[in-house]
Structure 1
Amino acid sequence: MKRFLLTTAVLLAASIAQADPASVTDTAKGPTLVDSAGMTLYTFAKDSEGMSACTGPCATNWPPLMATAEDQAMGDWSVITRDDGTKQWAYKGQPLYTWKNDTKPGDVTGDGVANGAWKVAQP
């Protein structure tokens, strides 16, 4: 019985510890993925599934939605490894980013930047 309770407690703690890395909110662009601070998340057309093409100065302007080494894929969410070895969240295989020029939750000023290469991430 003790073993069962301990196993159940460990499984429960693991499921509570890792929630989705983003949530959905309504913006001017419709339902949009946002980070824990409510900032809009974006996808980049030059990325390929599971791989970020946004490095160096690009990543300064478009900060990646970082994951930890302990974070695990779940459902539509995956963790990719960036060129520098750090981890980043991806939704349906597409790496996610915020935009340095969004100043408050719900801003979508990055949508359409670079001739439409940047788009709000939508569920």
Structure 2
Amino acid sequence: MLSRGMLCIVIVACSPTALAQPVEGADGRLTDPAGRVLYTFDRDSAGASACKDECAVQWPPYAAPPDASAKPAFPLLRRDDGSLQWAHRGKPLYYFAGDVKPGQASGDGLGGTWHVARTRPAETPDSGPSYSPKGY
């Protein structure tokens, strides 16, 4: 019987949308074409994944098909097992096994090292005008 994490890898690996180039959402978040949020890992170096074995069970790589064509914003990297993984600005892209529906981003900030992949910084909500009295 497959564990939940292994089942997630099987589902992601078999999904046709999992192989397509990442998509930029209206808020700058990167997703797969089905709307599943993608993440980056601070411990990765440009062009190389540090997330292997048990890490890759919780954070499945965003796979690319063997015939994928790299784009300037979305290069490809070859993992240790020979498979291809999409990247953004050289950083490998991943799913989070804890996200169960499109748009969910429950892995953002986990361990202080996992972040939603973005094409631009997240906007912070406007807290309104600041008050600065004159003469004080």
TM-score (norm 1): 0.77
1:117 to 109, 113, 121: 113
Give the match for residue 47 of structure 2.
50
Matches within 5 A, 1:29-40: 30-40=27-37
**CA distance in structure 1 between the aligned counterparts of 2:40 and 2:22, rounded to whole angstroms:** 14
Give the match for residue 87 of structure 1.
84
TM-score (norm 2): 0.70
**CA distance in structure 1 between the aligned counterparts of 2:97 and 2:37, rounded to whole angstroms:** 11
Quick one: which amino acid aligns to residue 25 of structure 2? T
**CA distance in structure 2 between the aligned counterparts of 1:81 and 1:44, rounded to whole angstroms:** 16
Give the match for residue 71 of structure 2.
74
**CA distance in structure 1 between the aligned counterparts of 2:84 and 2:52, rounded to whole angstroms:** 13
Give the match for residue 23 of structure 1.
23
The answer to whether the 8 Å contact 2:22/2:31 transfers is yes
Please, which runs of 5 or more residues in structure 1 have no aligned partner? 1-19
Aligned-partner SS, 1:119 = strand
Return the index of the structure with the highest Cα Rg: 2
Please, which runs of 5 or more residues in structure 2 have no aligned partner? 1-19, 120-136
**CA distance in structure 2 between the aligned counterparts of 1:103 and 1:24, rounded to whole angstroms:** 19
More strand by share: 1
Identical-residue share of aligned pairs (%)? 43
Quick one: which amino acid aligns to residue 57 of structure 2? T
Residue 105 of structure 1 deviates from its aligned partner by: 1.0
State the Cα RMSD in Å. Answer: 1.2
**CA distance in structure 2 between the aligned counterparts of 1:63 and 1:112, rounded to whole angstroms:** 17
